[in-house]
Amino acid sequence: MTIPSARQVIRLGSLALTAALLSACAQKKPEPVAQPKPAPVLKPVLMISDHRAGGSSDAHISFINGTDKTLQYVMFKTTAFTHSGQRVNSKKSGRPDTWLRVAGPFAPGEHSGDKVWKQVWQHRDLGCFRIEGAELIYAEDQSVEYHATDRFALLNGSELRNSNCGNNLTAERTVR
């Protein structure tokens, strides 16, 4: 029998060490990769069942309270336009944005019925108004929240009317 050289011993030792390390690694189970949780789907705070301009000056909105609390007031931020896309300023304030207030109380899930505001705008070619958002004032604690339309459910064609209203607008085409 021959005596192994130092080189052979080192090679054999390295090989044994590598085999031992590989077998130890093979026995460990890999940690599962954490999957990001999907963002929660937010429930709509208001369900707009109808909104439309009436005649040359009126506004109509019907909605359902989608919150878990009683609403004391809802104030809709709106902008009106002619059929050709010109902005129509508020008759009372002269501003481009008009706030339409509804007094409650509206319990969770309660339908408002058809709310009508008379003489909001004045233009013979009033075509539509867009709901920009709403301020909700809660009855329990009088706290106030503002929500844009991404937190609304626009039903019965209201989404299409809202998204198409005023799309032809340019800054210099405002009607008073």
Tell me the per-residue pLDDT of 123-154, one tens digit each, with 9 for 90 and over.
999 989 999 999 999 999 999 999 998 899 88
pLDDT at 173: 37
Enumerate residues 6+ apart whose C-beta is below 8 A from 101.
Answer: 73, 74, 75, 76
Mean pLDDT of the chain: 84
Closest CA to 82 of 127, 51, 37: 127
CA distance 46 to 67: 7
Closest CA to 134 of 71, 43, 41: 71
User: Is the confidence at residue 4, as pLDDT, over 90?
Assistant: no
Burial of 98 (0-12, 13-18, 19+ CB in 10 A): buried
Closest CA to 126 of 60, 34, 75: 60
User: Is the confidence at residue 171, as pLDDT, over 60?
Assistant: no
- Alpha-carbon Rg for the chain, nearest whole angstrom, is 32
Percent of the chain with pLDDT over 70: 88
* Contact criterion met (CB below 8 Å) for 66 and 107: no
Class of domain 46-175: mainly beta
The mean per-residue pLDDT over the stretch 5-28 comes to: 72
- What does pTM read for this prediction? 0.71
The CA-atom distances, in angstroms, between 32 and each of 26, 28, 29, 36, 39 are 16, 12, 9, 12, 21
Each residue's pLDDT tens digit, 56-106: 889 999 999 999 999 999 999 999 999 888 999 999 899 999 999 999 999
* Contact criterion met (CB below 8 Å) for 93 and 79: no
Domain assignments of the chain as residue spans, ordered by start:
46-175
* Contact criterion met (CB below 8 Å) for 89 and 121: yes
